[in-house]
Structure 1
Amino acid sequence: MQPAHHCLLFLLLYLLLLSGTWADLEGTITIRLLQTSTFQNTSFVDTEGLGLLQDIELGSLDKHTWNIRFYQPWVRPSLPRGDWDTIENMIKIYLQQFNHLINEGAMQKDVPYPFVAQCVAGCELYPNRTSQAFAYVGYNGQDFLSFDTNNATWLLSQDTDLSRYVQDVLRNYTAFTELVEVLFNDTCVDDMELLLHYGKAALERQELPVATVFARTPSPAQLLLVCRVTGFYPRPISVAWLRDGQEVPPGPALNTSTILPNADLTYQLRSILAAAPHDGHSYTCRVRHRSLGTRSLLIPWGNSEAVLIAGLSAGLLAAVAVAAIIALWVWRCRKHQQMLESESRNSILSKEA
């Protein structure tokens, strides 16, 4: 039976080969394999696994059967069914040995149950066709170990008896370290390009941002201008405030939220600028995003909006005035016609008499 870490690296290699043509795509592409194992006691471990291409969920592990569940229709066709069967078998072998190794170390070092072990591993591919591998191990939500791909060594993120013990175990797997170097430093890009075209459409998906600007007044002396941007994809975006056409620099008056996901697999954020009411400046929210190309989305607030509202009000008043004049003219015409018809009937009756 292969060592657990051999199985892990073979598993990573297969999961790295799950998508579309990288050569035609812009920017850095990252694939991550996430594993979370909750050790309730020596006999029960709850494990979850997720594969990500950028922010696209490729698939996950069924926690009961450890089988792969595919989230994207193009993932399964990327490899033959026999290869997926091999991957699932390797996952099961790896998890069995991983759980045994962790439990054995926990008992030797008197680690109290329950505890959580997390693993993140993957590869970044850059536009110049170079790559960088990474692997991190966490314990109870804290950094534990990391892999230095340049020197092929495991580094301590925290210096404890347990972390040193795990580091020594990994150092003894010299074949594992050599395999990491070969897979990630030599063949990662070549193998990725073979299947990246399967996910090209998903990677190139673009959704235009929708932006609105409104104000809040927490106090009479303070005005908070809010620029809400939502519905955009991919995730990278630039949102800035312009005061009289000049970009407002970072400072205590400017507060921009983190980018948050929407339920429809797009993103949103808010940028809030503190200003003094009636300060005489004009403000505009500027949004730049890949879907806009070289253009920028500009949403004004202040004088320009007031002019727009005033213009609408003036136009509405003018329309009401014109309608009133027309109604009065029609009423007078009808009244005049009724008078003529009445005089005509009276004339006819007088002649008959």
Structure 2
Amino acid sequence: MQPPHCCLLHLLLLSGTWADLEGTFTLWLLQTSIFENTYFVNTERLGLLEDIEIASLNKYTQTFHFLQPWVQPALRRSDWHTYEEMVKVYSVQFSHTINEAAMQNRVSYSFIIQCRAGCELFPNRTSRAFIHVGYNGQDLVSLNIENCSWQLGQDTNVSRYVKSLLQSYTAFTELVDVIFSETCVDVQEVFLHYGKKALERQEQPEATVFACMPSSAQLLLVCRVTGFYPHPISVAWLWDGQEVLPGLALNTSSILPNANLTYQLRSIPAVVPGDGHSYICRVCHRSLGSRSLLIQWGNSEVVLVVGLEAGLLAAVAMAAIPALWLWTFRKHQQMQESESRSSILSKET
């Protein structure tokens, strides 16, 4: 079966409409298959444009479930139907190949096979296809698109057998090559047009700095940055105005996803308590333009706050002394006047 190509007229009409999008874009196809035995395979498949989930495949009906409102209208109904038929053919061939490799190498069930495939589209409209297959979390084989040959991910009996098996399926290998080298690029160009607004979404980061002290000799400053999109971001610490270089004293986490399709990370330098230096967390992100977030932490600020509180207490105390003296004087004067009036009334009586 030959892979379908998007309508040529459709592509010509859309040509250049996504050219103002900056950067390289990737259309991902992810598959996880749990082989319980030779008869039952539990497979989940997901398609993404960059980090946006666009469609999944119903494992029972082998039909697409669209996860964004702009995905289904991007292609004709006949194209989607053809892709579904291709997936069915691929699924049968894929399960047969893996089961045969497992039986020939006496691999015990159950095990997991993961596939990561897709195409990158560069600003100059060149592209790169990729296909990687993993076994129980380890690299198994990958397809070299340039010469249409399979390569070992690791040198094991299973990987060598899978490589030779796939290499013998010439028609299947050529079909996979065409799908990801040509069809994937055509489809991605259409998706970049229809999903342009979603890809251009920007959310500004929110940053806070706080401290924790694991020991009396070490203070950890934590710069927590969250709620930003897209995920590329720069977070750095300035020590008395000089950038702190990555090392043992600076630990920055990887970028982690939030539930609302934004991201977060933490950058934590270790400092000496009471060293008298100033520390600033600097955050740069596309949504901020040429500006940066600067969140300061420094012992000088702590001392200033403590000094202000102590000064305020002293000022209150100093103001209270004359007020208390005046209140005592007036109270004494009132008592004297009261006694004087009582004495006069007594004499008159």
- For the superposition of Structure 1 and Structure 2, which TM-score range results when normalised by the shorter chain? 0.7 to 0.9
For the pair 1:286 / 2:282, whether they are aligned, the reply is yes
CA distance in 2, matches of 1:102, 1:44: 12
**1:199 deviation in Å?**
0.6
Structure 1 equivalent of residue 157 of structure 2: 161
Among 85, 89, 96, which residue is 1:93 paired with? 89
CA distance in 1, matches of 2:316, 2:198: 52
Q: Secondary structure at the match of 2:246?
A: coil
CA distance in 2, matches of 1:199, 1:240: 32
Structure 2 equivalent of residue 218 of structure 1: 214
Paired residues of 1:21 and 1:193 also in contact (CA < 8 A)? no
Which one has more relative contact order, counting CA pairs under 8 Å at least 6 apart? 1
* Counterparts in 2 of 1:223 and 1:186: CA distance versus 1, 3 Å: same
Unpaired runs of at least 5, structure 1:
325-353
Offset from partner CA, 1:175-230 (integer Å, 9 cap, x none): 45555555555675555324421111111111000000011111222111110000
Structure 2 equivalent of residue 346 of structure 1: none
For the pair 1:148 / 2:144, whether they are aligned, the reply is yes
Structure 1 equivalent of residue 74 of structure 2: 78
Structure 2 equivalent of residue 121 of structure 1: 117
For the pair 1:297 / 2:255, whether they are aligned, the reply is no
Structure 2 equivalent of residue 261 of structure 1: 257
CA distance in 2, matches of 1:21, 1:257: 37
For the pair 1:102 / 2:102, whether they are aligned, the reply is no
For the pair 1:133 / 2:129, whether they are aligned, the reply is yes
Paired residues of 2:27 and 2:188 also in contact (CA < 8 A)? no
CA distance in 1, matches of 2:49, 2:111: 28
* Counterparts in 2 of 1:59 and 1:288: CA distance versus 1, 3 Å: same
Paired residues of 1:39 and 1:45 also in contact (CA < 8 A)? yes
Query: How many residues get paired?
Result: 315
Structure 1 equivalent of residue 241 of structure 2: 245
Paired residues of 1:38 and 1:116 also in contact (CA < 8 A)? yes
Structure 2 equivalent of residue 329 of structure 1: none
* Counterparts in 2 of 1:26 and 1:305: CA distance versus 1, 3 Å: farther
* Counterparts in 2 of 1:51 and 1:13: CA distance versus 1, 3 Å: farther
Structure 2 equivalent of residue 67 of structure 1: 63
For 2:66, the aligned partner's letter is: F
* Counterparts in 2 of 1:231 and 1:304: CA distance versus 1, 3 Å: farther
Structure 2 equivalent of residue 335 of structure 1: none
Paired residues of 1:13 and 1:183 also in contact (CA < 8 A)? no
CA distance in 2, matches of 1:182, 1:93: 15
CA distance in 2, matches of 1:304, 1:228: 21
Q: What's the TM-score, normalizing by structure 2? A: 0.80
Structure 1 equivalent of residue 341 of structure 2: none
**1:65 deviation in Å?**
2.2
Q: Secondary structure at the match of 1:37?
A: strand
For 2:275, the aligned partner's letter is: D
For 1:87, the aligned partner's letter is: Y
Between 1:153-162 and 1:47-56, the stretch displaced more is 153-162
Q: Secondary structure at the match of 2:109?
A: coil
For 2:211, the aligned partner's letter is: A
CA distance in 2, matches of 1:162, 1:76: 39
* Counterparts in 2 of 1:180 and 1:115: CA distance versus 1, 3 Å: closer
**1:66 deviation in Å?**
2.3
**1:285 deviation in Å?**
0.1
* Counterparts in 2 of 1:185 and 1:41: CA distance versus 1, 3 Å: closer
* Counterparts in 2 of 1:184 and 1:206: CA distance versus 1, 3 Å: same
For 1:37, the aligned partner's letter is: S
Q: Secondary structure at the match of 1:197?
A: helix
Paired residues of 2:71 and 2:191 also in contact (CA < 8 A)? no
Identity %: 68
Q: What's the TM-score, normalizing by structure 1? A: 0.79
Unpaired runs of at least 5, structure 2:
321-349
* Counterparts in 2 of 1:216 and 1:87: CA distance versus 1, 3 Å: same
What value does the CA root-mean-square deviation take over the aligned residues? 3.1
For the pair 1:40 / 2:67, whether they are aligned, the reply is no
For 1:84, the aligned partner's letter is: W
Offset from partner CA, 1:252-278 (integer Å, 9 cap, x none): 110111111111111111111110111
**1:300 deviation in Å?**
0.5
CA distance in 1, matches of 2:312, 2:45: 60
